[in-house]
């Protein structure tokens, strides 16, 4: 079991148009590496034919293919989590199903790992994304780096390689709404980054709306740091100090010049500004409370409907009648109960 050298984990959500091209490029690229590997696909509750296509591919290459079928859409990162839990390789590489990360680049990541690094991130050479995502992601990167001290040059690129030790550490975390590259970074002993090619989406369209990108970044900030809360306490102290000074000024002014009556709307502006900040603070607190709430509910993070994997020939015979085995060769579907 431990001799398996590489697991490739791929989340799939409504990717029916691009999957065949992915298979056509991925398998040859991995065969060329000359190491033992497995590919773990996670169907994240796709509403198109993705699941059926993955089943077909499993029938075609059951030796190196495993498929996890979720019974709903739990998000890219939960899908990768499930893939990590199922993976058996000494090293694990994550990849997007849309071919934005060329499978041929996996070799580059593994070569870097051979130098002794345990976590390899990647930086897209030329990003083929829309301009607003370009600008937004640069701004978010700066902010994130300051707040969380997690250095990921290009957080949008999921082509990454992890050593078994990091995968085990991640598997022992039962976090909800997490961001896997950041989590891995906090566990990494010796992280490194390499520059990789980045293509346009082969087919279909991006699954991330502006809203889900904003959500993702909130999760990143609040999931890995309490600095936003601390900044709020600091802001509170600053405002209190300033209003104390202002009060002293008004007292002095009243004694020297007399009472003031003007400036009503300046007061309004000030008060509205403060109310805005207070509301933002309550919302921020809510983000943390929400995370705590999600965590303490202990609900399963995802539900697995079925896992398709090749069974040990012996085990299959024990489980099924001879006829069923003959019908289905050595390939069997292992239906797991609600996992986790
Ligand atoms: N994905 C997923 N579940 C989701 C959304 C996306 O498994 O809810 C997968 C998707 O199939 C793809 C990867 O995550 O393999 C990245 O998604 P996408 O390409 O849409 O994101 P982008 O490249 O636009 O950031
Ligand atoms: Mg993509």
pLDDT digits (tens, 9 = 90+) for 219-252: 888 888 888 888 888 888 898 899 889 888 888 8
State the greatest distance between any 2 C-alpha atoms of the chain, in Å, as a whole number: 103
Expressed as residue numbers, the domain containing 323 is 310-339
Please tell me the pTM assigned to this model.
0.81
C-alpha 199 – ligand 2 centre gap (Å): 9
Give distance in angstroms: CA of 169 to centre of ligand 2: 26
pLDDT at residue number 313: 40
Query: Are 148 and 243 in the same domain?
Result: no
pLDDT given for residue 320 in this prediction: 42
Does residue 53 sit within a domain?
yes
Q: Would residue 216 count as lying in a domain?
A: no
What DSSP letter does each residue of 41-67 carry, written as one string? EEE-S-SSTHHHHHHHHHHH-TTTEEE
Can you list the residues of the chain whose pLDDT is less than 50? Answer: 313-340
Looking at the structure, tell me whether residues 67 and 149 fall in a common domain: yes
Residues having CB closer than 6 A to ligand 1 are: 11-13, 15, 44, 73, 75-76, 79, 96-98, 100, 156, 206-208
d(CA 172, CA 157) in angstroms, rounded, equals: 24
> What is the predicted pLDDT for the residue at 40?
97
Specify whether 152 is located in the same domain as 290: no
What spacing in Å lies between the alpha carbon of 212 and ligand 2's midpoint?
14
Mutate to test the pocket of ligand 1, among 8, 9, 11 (most ligand atoms within 8 A of CB): 11
In this structure, are 248 and 200 located in the same domain?
Answer: no
**Domain identity same for 235 and 90:** no
In this prediction, residue 312 carries a pLDDT of 57
Contact 1, 87 (CB under 8 A): no
Work out how many domains the chain is built from and give that number. 3
Tell me what pLDDT residue 2 has. 56
Residue with tokens 């697991």: 7
What is the spatial distance between Cα 298 and Cα 46, in angstroms, rounded to a whole number? 25
């Amino acid at each position: 079991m431990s001799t398996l050298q590489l697991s490739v984990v791929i989340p799939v959500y409504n990717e029916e148009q691009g999957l065949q091209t992915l298979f056509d490029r991925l398998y040859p690229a991995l065969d060329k590496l000359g190491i033992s590997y497995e590919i773990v696909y996670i169907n994240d509750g796709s509403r198109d034919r993705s699941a059926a296509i993955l089943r077909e591919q499993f029938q075609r290459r059951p030796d190196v293919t495993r498929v996890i079928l979720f019974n709903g859409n739990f998000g890219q990162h939960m899908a990768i989590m499930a893939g990590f839990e199922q993976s058996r390789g000494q090293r694990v590489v994550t990849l997007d199903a849309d071919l934005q990360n060329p499978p041929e680049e996996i070799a580059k990541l593994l070569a870097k790992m051979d130098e002794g690094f345990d976590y390899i991130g990647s930086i897209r050479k030329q990003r083929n994304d829309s301009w607003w995502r370009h600008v937004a992601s640069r701004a978010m990167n700066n902010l994130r780096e300051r707040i969380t001290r997690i250095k990921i040059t290009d957080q949008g690129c999921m082509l990454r390689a992890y050593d078994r030790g990091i995968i085990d550490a991640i598997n022992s975390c039962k976090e909800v709404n997490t961001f896997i590259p950041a989590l891995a970074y906090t566990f990494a002993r010796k992280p490194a980054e390499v520059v990789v090619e980045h293509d346009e989406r082969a087919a279909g369209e991006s699954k991330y709306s502006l809203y889900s990108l904003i959500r993702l970044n909130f999760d990143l900030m609040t999931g890995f740091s309490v600095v936003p809360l601390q900044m709020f306490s600091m802001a509170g102290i600053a405002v209190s100090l300033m209003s104390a000074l202002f009060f002293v000024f008004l007292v002095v002014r009243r004694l020297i010049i007399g009472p003031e009556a003007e400036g009503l709307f300046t007061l309004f502006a000030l008060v509205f500004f403060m109310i805005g900040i207070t509301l933002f603070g309550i919302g921020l607190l809510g983000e943390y409370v929400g995370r705590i709430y999600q965590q303490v509910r202990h609900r399963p993070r995802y539900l697995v409907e079925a896992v398709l994997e090749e069974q040990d020939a012996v085990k299959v015979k024990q489980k099924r009648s001879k006829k069923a085995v003959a019908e289905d060769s050595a390939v069997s579907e292992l239906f797991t109960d609600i996992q986790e």
